[in-house]
Amino acid sequence: VPYGEYLPMRPILSAIGLSRLAPGDLDFDPGPGPRTIAIPHWGKVGFQLCYEIIFSGEAVDRHNRPDVIFNPSNDAWFGAWGPPQHLAQARLRAAEEGIPVIRSTPTGISALVDARGRILQSIPLGTAGVIDDALPLPATRLTLFARLGNVIPLALGFLLLIAAIALGRRPRYSET
């Protein structure tokens, strides 16, 4: 997370007095990307640590799709507004990929989310508890997003840009 887990362009920004939003002078390094691990009696699990789940199109290993995504996090430093947003992002990834998400936090909102992004069970912000339920199944077919990824929003953005240019070039008539 820029400015949270690392400071981009550290030599330049720190020289002018800017720093990370979270305390500390050491930056995190990027990992290898999404990986799927086969766990006996559970199936294939994808791990998205903390805010890694917010990146659309980067939540699953495309060549080894998981049956479930596990998203452990500690949302304490985000205050009261961060955990609901973080949970909303996890729900989006579940719906995009058609894969259920287990979200586990000691301080934020823990939840079991099905492959359509619906919250099946949850534990509220700042509440200790346990969710004891069967894991929801992944979607039986790949979602459109799982097949095409971020090509969809990029294509829509490009079409909107072309439409804006075309509409901007139309002659404007005045009533005078």
CA distance 132 to 29: 35
Rounded (5°) CA angle 33-67-64: 45
pLDDT of 93 over the 90 cut:
yes
The 3-state DSSP class for residue 88 equals helix
- Strand pairing report for 101-104 and 68-72: parallel
pLDDT above 70 coverage of the chain, percent: 92
Let me know: does 129 contact 122? Beta carbons within 8 Å. Answer: no
Span of 45-54, 70-79, 85-94, 154-163 with lowest mean pLDDT: 70-79
**107 or 29: which leads in pLDDT:** 107
pLDDT at 176: 61
pLDDT of 6 over the 80 cut:
no
pLDDT band at residue 21 using 50, 70 and 90 as cut-offs:
low
The DSSP letter of residue 76 is G
Residues 6+ apart with CB under 8 A from 85: 78
What count of residues does the chain have? Answer: 176
Rounded (5°) CA angle 129-125-120: 65
Tens of pLDDT, residue by residue over 26-73, are 777 778 889 999 999 889 999 998 888 998 999 999 999 999 999 999
Mean pLDDT, the chain, integer: 89
CA distance 116 to 137: 10
**10 or 155: which leads in pLDDT:** 155
CA distance 63 to 42: 19
Domains and CATH numbers, the chain: 1-29 (no CATH), 31-148 (3.60.110.10)
Let me know: does 50 contact 74? Beta carbons within 8 Å. Answer: yes
pLDDT of 125 over the 80 cut:
yes
**48, amino acid identity:** Q
pLDDT band at residue 1 using 50, 70 and 90 as cut-offs:
low
Let me know: does 90 contact 100? Beta carbons within 8 Å. Answer: no
pLDDT at 171: 74
User: Residue range 95-113: average pLDDT?
Assistant: 95
pLDDT at 26: 74
CA distance 12 to 10: 6
The DSSP letter of residue 6 is B
